[in-house]
Amino acid sequence: MSDVKFLLDEKDMPRQWYNLAADLPSPLQPPLGPDGQPVRPEMLTPVFPTNLIEQEVSRERWITIPDEILQLLYLWRPSPLYRARRLEKALGTPAHIYYKNEAVSPAGSHKPNTAIPQAWYNKQFGIKRICTETGAGQWGSALALACALIGGLECKVFMVKISFEQKPFRRLMMETWGASCVASPSNQTKAGRDVLAEHPDSPGSLGIAISEAVEATVTDPTGQTRYSLGSVLNHVLMHQTIIGQEAKKQLAKAGEKQPDVIIGCVGGGSNFAGLAFPFLADKIAGAKMEVLAVEPTSCPTLTRGPFAYDHGDIAGMTPLLAMHTLGHTFVPPPIHAGGLRYHGMAPLVSQTVVEGLVKAVAYPQLKCYESAVLFARTEGIIPAPETSHAIACVIDQANQATQEGKQKVILFNFSGHGLMDLTGYDNYFRGKLADHHLEEDELAKSLKAISHLPKPKAQKTGKW
């Protein structure tokens, strides 16, 4: 019988996070403040604790993981690497398909990999309460879990209304871990009230929920609240790089030299970066591999959005980030992959796309569900709707390898399970889901709203 899973011991767990910013061939463009000047780290102190701001702006290649954080990550890490032999067989492909199973965390996704360090650094800094937003509920539940495990931290979550309604069990998970959760847009903030005044039936979006969470943070009169983001920012992506570092060791155990293709779905970019960035260090040093970021056709940030300066939230409270964007007023259609409904993208991921190190592709939701169902019926685990985007791309890559007669090694990030997302599967099975195509005029309208903002330089070496 051939091996299907490749495990590491706790002692093999990475001791450092990898910071791709240290190795990028072309530099990141700095975030800009309201005056159009680069943001100085001290300007971020009302929003984030200083220890995390230091990580955000760091250009050190390796950052040591504190022992107390490792002890908490050991609850489910190192996560297993699986060889999807039964999926390979069903596809009749010569490709070797591997997936890193991040669904084994208590919250069911990769998100606790950064929730634990973020909560820990906040506590170290003396913070008493953390505010955040959540799309699908994965991030909110991960932060609720982290605050519970660390203790002494209140957690408040603004949850995108469409997910709040579709996924009551995610809210209950948050409450079980002791967090409070409100549907966004809400009446609790000015940002929420403004949206409701114009669109009383708004399904919400990550951009709106971020505005609410930031506002709730900076208006706390005690000064003891900070904001926490589950994706997009440099330090968040860095915390996820334990995934790719573990995967390297596990692929070696499986007898593979390196992957030919690496695939991850992208919402804000964190699970993709977590798997791909440690391998991108090799690609930058000359290794040959294809790295694919997969997004929904209904929210095609990397494939159709320009590389521009834009706010991370709808109310324009965040600094301007140099990233691919659909415009911060863009509200994506209410697809079930709630965690992929974000108008922007991590600046680090955007820069790798500008540089040509990473290629972006987009998939419609029906094809993603079809792929997820095949995965569930062969490998057994029911994927989160977000993860199904990566799987759709994996299946295409494996079929391409079959046509070319190549024994490619395909590695992807299984970012989360879909046990809390079965409403989406229900709608799929009952034929209630449709594909959404973003019309040109709709995109042009939301991009017009950012046309007055400064333009970043799209710098690249031309090597890839």
Ligand X SMILES: Cc1ncc(COP(=O)(O)O)c(C=O)c1O
Pick 296 or 408: Cβ nearer ligand X? 296
* Cα gap 140→179, rounded to integer Å: 9
Beta bridge partners of 277: none
Pick 268 or 300: Cβ nearer ligand X? 268
User: Which position's Cβ is nearest ligand X?
Assistant: 339
Residues 6+ apart with CB under 8 A from 431: none
* Cα gap 262→241, rounded to integer Å: 14
Q: Is 5 helix (H, G, I), strand (E, B) or coil?
A: strand
* Cα gap 21→280, rounded to integer Å: 11
Which of 270, 329, 352, 371 binds ligand X (CB under 6 A)? It is: 270
Which of 138, 225, 365, 371 binds ligand X (CB under 6 A)? It is: 138
Half-sphere exposure of 383 (CA within 13 A, CB side): 29
* Cα gap 38→279, rounded to integer Å: 30
- Token representation of residue 341: 């409904």
- Answer whether 94's CB lies under 8 Å from 401's CB: yes
- Answer whether 138's CB lies under 8 Å from 111's CB: yes
Pick 217 or 270: Cβ nearer ligand X? 270
Which of 88, 133, 355, 386 binds ligand X (CB under 6 A)? It is: 386
Which of 13, 131, 265, 368 binds ligand X (CB under 6 A)? It is: 265
Min dist CB 331 to ligand X, Å, is: 17
State whether the Cα torsion 129-131-137-139 is positive or negative. Answer: negative
Pick 233 or 453: Cβ nearer ligand X? 233
Query: Applying CB under 6 A, does 415 fall inside the site for ligand X?
Result: yes
Residues in 87-116 that interact with ligand X by CB under 6 A = 109
Min dist CB 12 to ligand X, Å, is: 24
Min dist CB 340 to ligand X, Å, is: 6
Residue 184: alpha-carbon gap to chain centroid: 20
**Burial grade of 82 (CB within 10 A; 0-12, 13-18, 19 or more):** buried
Which of 8, 136, 251, 262 binds ligand X (CB under 6 A)? It is: 136
Pick 280 or 453: Cβ nearer ligand X? 280
Which of 271, 318, 352, 388 binds ligand X (CB under 6 A)? It is: 271
Query: Applying CB under 6 A, does 266 fall inside the site for ligand X?
Result: yes
Min dist CB 237 to ligand X, Å, is: 8
Residues of this chain that interact with ligand X (CB under 6 A) are 109, 135-136, 138-139, 231, 265-272, 339-340, 384, 386-387, 415-416
